[in-house]
């Protein structure tokens, strides 16, 4: 019997499990699908780092309600108090993993500066007019010999865990920083030196596991991408599996040459599932990881072939930079930032993904005007993805990281990012680009801005975890 034929195959098998909800979020992934309202507001970090605009980064509030008069517009901006943060990934103070914690609210966003190591706490009680209520300065973070915050996850008891990609000096090793529910630094989550490189992470409490991936030392990737750094072994290719309760590194899997720069990691949403995926950006492969008899395995299940391009001396990799699993664990979506396409795979059998659909918008091979010849140009490829909780609308932005943007898509510095959307038909397994939806971050008051990750006020497919 194959692993995927066991009762832990992942999709659909546990969603009937219910328990009382006293805190934020939903009792189960299926409850989220059934109870969540359609998204009306999107929060999107927007930045000026690496552009000619001398202004602080900001958090955009985007109107995604088609019934609204300001649909597809940035209706509010929360300006950061300092310049040069490079806002990147961010997360909630609480999610469905805390739904048993009475009195806790999914209300505050933790918004780190990737370059500054500054942590901003934003209160979204007024969803359309959020405000900064606290700033943790870099010096407070450096006390724990950590820098370059990346992924923010709430953890079950109302605390917050943040992956940190470097030490105080921007070298290796990275680690994890823990905040308490008053947004004070609790300390370092992991013993120093358990692993060298860090990037994204996800946890699955019922399996007592956390998985983390690798980018590189901040000093390596901050200036931009250099192939010589890859050849010198300065970029990651490993997955790390941690004992969740003991906070100890238990197992490391080396993905090798086919797993160069493993970035985003996603477990299936079912808390019973021991299956997940990671996208190896440079190698442009998707790996399926899973547990069998207390040991973790990772196998390549999708290979995006490189393509020839007239302006490149080497075949162009897809560069898989983000992936998202639908809340019902049926579909996997990922973006090829350089090629310019978004793919949709049926992962009902987690070990054997089946391509359902693919669409093109921007990038090196997609149309420059995907929403119409009279509409503005899309000068970069699909990057950060976010799916509606009901799985029927897929959104994405186009900025990766300021220096990498300027290297591969220099026009974005002058024209800004866009946010696009596809309508998804889960029954047929298809996507259709919504040509009436385009959020133009080139039209900000201070000048063109980059746009990165996307979050919904009521939770989403890349932040909610269940116990």
As given in the structure block, the two tokens for residue 75 are: 């209706």
Tens-digit pLDDT profile for residues 309-346: 999 999 999 999 999 999 999 999 999 999 999 999 99
The sign of the dihedral angle between the CA atoms of 31, 36, 38, 41 is negative
Using CA atoms, how far apart are residues 39 and 46, in angstroms rounded to an integer?
19
Tens-digit pLDDT profile for residues 119-172: 999 999 999 999 999 999 999 999 999 999 999 999 988 899 999 999 999 999
How confident is residue 1, by pLDDT bands cut at 50, 70 and 90? very low
Using CA atoms, how far apart are residues 38 and 302, in angstroms rounded to an integer?
31
Closest CA to 221 of 8, 403, 416: 403
Select the more confidently predicted residue: 25 or 48.
48
Q: What average pLDDT does the structure give for the chain?
A: 95
Inform me whether the pLDDT recorded for 60 exceeds 50: yes
Tens-digit pLDDT profile for residues 281-313: 999 999 999 999 999 999 999 999 999 999 999
pTM: 0.95
- Sort 384 into a burial class: Cβ within 10 Å, 0-12 / 13-18 / 19+: buried
Task: Answer yes or no: are the C-beta atoms of 425 and 372 closer than 8 Å.
Answer: no
Integer CA distances (angstroms), 120 to 135, 200, 257, 286, in order: 5, 19, 37, 33
Average pLDDT over residues 53-59: 98
Tens-digit pLDDT profile for residues 361-408: 999 999 999 999 999 999 999 999 999 999 999 999 999 999 999 999
How confident is residue 19, by pLDDT bands cut at 50, 70 and 90? low
Closest CA to 355 of 345, 364, 363: 345
Inform me whether the pLDDT recorded for 255 exceeds 50: yes
Inform me whether the pLDDT recorded for 6 exceeds 60: no
Using CA atoms, how far apart are residues 203 and 209, in angstroms rounded to an integer?
6
Strands (E), 25-73: 41-47, 58-63
How confident is residue 347, by pLDDT bands cut at 50, 70 and 90? very high
Average pLDDT over residues 19-28: 84
Q: Parallel, antiparallel, or unpaired: how do β-strands 295-303 and 450-451 relate? A: unpaired
Inform me whether the pLDDT recorded for 79 exceeds 90: yes
- Supply the pLDDT for residue 11: 42
- Supply the pLDDT for residue 20: 72
- Supply the pLDDT for residue 101: 86
- Supply the pLDDT for residue 16: 44
Average pLDDT over residues 89-99: 94
Inform me whether the pLDDT recorded for 13 exceeds 60: no
Task: Answer yes or no: are the C-beta atoms of 99 and 23 closer than 8 Å.
Answer: yes
């Amino acid at each position: 019997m194959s692993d995927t034929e066991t009762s832990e195959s992942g999709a659909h098998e546990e969603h009937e499990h219910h328990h009382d909800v006293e805190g934020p979020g939903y009792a189960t992934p299926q409850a989220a699908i059934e109870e969540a309202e359609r998204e009306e507001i999107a929060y999107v970090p927007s930045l000026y780092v690496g552009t000619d605009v001398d202004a602080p980064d900001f958090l955009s509030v985007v109107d995604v309600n088609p019934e609204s008069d300001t649909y597809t517009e940035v209706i509010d901006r929360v300006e950061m108090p300092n310049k040069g943060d490079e806002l990147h990934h961010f997360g909630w103070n609480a999610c469905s993993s805390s739904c048993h914690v009475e009195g806790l609210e999914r209300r505050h966003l933790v918004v780190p500066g990737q370059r500054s190591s500054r942590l901003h706490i934003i209160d979204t009680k007024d969803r359309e007019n959020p405000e900064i209520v606290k700033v943790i300065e870099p010096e407070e973070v450096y006390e724990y010999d950590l820098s370059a915050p990346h992924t923010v996850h709430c953890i079950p008891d109302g605390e917050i865990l943040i992956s940190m990609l470097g030490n105080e000096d921007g070298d290796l090793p990275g680690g994890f920083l823990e905040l308490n529910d008053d947004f004070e630094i609790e300390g370092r989550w992991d013993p120093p030196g358990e692993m060298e490189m860090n990037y994204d992470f996800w946890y699955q409490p019922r399996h007592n596991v956390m998985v983390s991936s690798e980018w590189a030392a901040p000093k390596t990737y901050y200036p931009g991408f250099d192939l010589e750094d890859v050849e010198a072994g300065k970029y990651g290719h490993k997955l790390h599996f941690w004992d969740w309760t003991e906070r100890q590194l238990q197992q490391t899997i080396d993905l090798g040459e086919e797993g160069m720069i493993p970035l985003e990691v996603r477990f299936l949403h079912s808390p019973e599932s021991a299956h997940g995926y990671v996208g190896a950006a440079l190698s442009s492969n998707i790996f399926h990881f899973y547990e069998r008899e207390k040991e973790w395995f990772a196998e390549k299940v999708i290979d995006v072939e490189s393509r020839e391009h007239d302006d490149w001396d080497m075949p162009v990799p897809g560069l898989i930079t983000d992936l998202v699993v639908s809340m019902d664990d049926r579909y996997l979506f990922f973006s090829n930032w350089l090629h310019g396409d978004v793919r949709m795979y049926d992962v009902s059998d987690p070990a054997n993904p089946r391509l359902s659909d693919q669409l093109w918008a921007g990038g090196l091979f997609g149309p420059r005007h995907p929403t119409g010849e009279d509409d503005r140009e899309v000068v970069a490829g699909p990057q950060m993805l976010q799916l509606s909780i009901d799985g029927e609308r897929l959104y994405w932005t186009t900025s990766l990281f300021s220096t990498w943007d300027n290297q591969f898509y220099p026009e974005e510095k002058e024209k800004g990012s866009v946010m696009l959307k596809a309508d998804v038909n889960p029954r047929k397994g298809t996507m259709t680009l919504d040509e009436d939806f385009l959020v133009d971050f080139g039209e900000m008051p201070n000048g063109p801005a980059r746009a990165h990750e996307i979050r919904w006020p009521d939770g989403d497919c890349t932040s909610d975890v269940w116990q």
